[in-house]
Amino acid sequence: MRCAVAMMAALIALGAGGTANAGFFHHYPWVRGNDTGGIIPYSPAIERVYRDMAADHCARWGRLSHITSVNRHYGQYVSFVCIDKPWVIH
């Protein structure tokens, strides 16, 4: 557990500059979900970037993300849903 948290903190320190590094999180291994939404394991290390992580996950399907809950305890999750862009004609 400590090793995973340390590795996550190191990865975030290398690439967490906001949306400028959004591609860094495009294949982030701890984000689980599909085109309707997903979850991200919570850690204080992701406090500033979990919104970008969710946005990058939903962008794979051309959708926007909306954070539905943030449980700020180890072992809990940040959950989000992916919503369609109503102004875009497919």
18: region left, alpha or beta (phi > 0 left; psi from -120 to 50 alpha): left
Q: Are the C-beta atoms of residues 68 and 82 closer than 8 Å to each other?
A: no
Tell me, yes or no, whether 10 lies in a domain.
Answer: yes
Domain that holds residue 11: 2-83
Confirm whether 63 is domain-assigned: yes
pLDDT score recorded for residue 88: 67
- Percentage of the chain surpassing pLDDT 70? 64
88 lies in some domain: no
Q: Is 49 part of any domain?
A: yes
Is the model more confident about 32 or about 21?
32
What domain count does the chain have?
Answer: 1
Confidence category of residue 86, pLDDT binned at 50, 70, 90: confident
Most confident listed range (8-12, 16-20, 61-65): 61-65
In a domain, 66, yes or no: yes
Question: How is the beta sheet containing 77-83 ordered, strand by strand?
Answer: 32-34, 37-41, 77-83, 64-70
Residue 89 lies in a domain: no
35-68 pLDDT, tens digit per residue, is 999 999 999 999 999 999 999 999 999 999 999 9
